[in-house]
Amino acid sequence: MINELITKMVDAGVHYGHQTRKWHPNMRKFILTQRNGIHIINLEETEKCLDKACAFLSDLAAKNKKILFVGCKRQAQEAVKAAAEATEQYYVNFRWLGGMLTNMATIKKSIARLDYLENLDKQPEYKSMSKKELAALSREREKLLRNLQGIRNMGGAPDVIVAIGADHEYLAIREAHKLDIPVIALTDTTANPDDVAYPIPGNDAGMRSIQLILSVLTEAINKAKPQQA
């Protein structure tokens, strides 16, 4: 019998992979069939992988560990931010800057620079700055805010990364590997599932698919979080 979650995944299009001519052979075990030149993902396998990812996240959440959501493709940006905010965790949804994990000292300097720019009007030099200088600093502030807003209070490396698109977020995954940080990733048929500890086979290009997978992970995290006294 098809359960409720699989029905929801069908409705959200989680089973749609990429064109059959663009696929990674290591995804073979997660592919059910092909239809009209598109690979169809086996949602029973997706559910099994999702259960494993949820169990792992639940264990971390119960210990108050840090979870970093990463999804910089357009379809994922809002959903990733919403998931992080719903779980009171961290996110990167605009651009992954090289060294975000492996060069935290530089990232901390950038965050300090953002703090300075956000309080520029309280600085003694503010009144002597020209309109041109202030406009340039405002653009710099907006750029830093886009890139760093979701991690500015993280205070060090996360304990796990949840990525939308194992191939799209390869820079983040590569840095995570260097630091032995486990990765959970929504993994479409074009990606190598062996690149991450917890692949979740599914459509990483559809907004509804992304939102559904993140909602299941978010629910698991929030259920496991220690209750506030």
Are 15 and 48 members of one domain? yes
* 228: pLDDT strictly greater than 70: no
Q: Does some domain include residue 229?
A: no
Are 28 and 13 members of one domain? yes
Note the pLDDT tens digit of each residue in 144-165.
999 999 999 998 999 999 999 9
Q: Is 45 helix (H, G, I), strand (E, B) or coil?
A: helix
Name the domain boundary from 113, 148, 183.
148
Say whether pTM exceeds 0.75. yes
**Can you tell me the mean pLDDT for 187-196?**
97
In the structure, what pLDDT confidence band is assigned to residue 2 with cuts at 50, 70 and 90? low
Are 88 and 109 members of one domain? no
Range of the structural domain that residue 127 is part of = 104-148
CATH code where residue 210 lies: 3.40.50.10490
Instruction: Report how many domains make up the chain.
Output: 2
Are 88 and 188 members of one domain? yes
Contacts of 151 (CB under 8 A, 6+ apart): 68, 90, 91, 92, 100, 107, 111
**Can you tell me the mean pLDDT for 2-21?**
94
* 121: pLDDT strictly greater than 70: yes
Are 65 and 77 members of one domain? yes
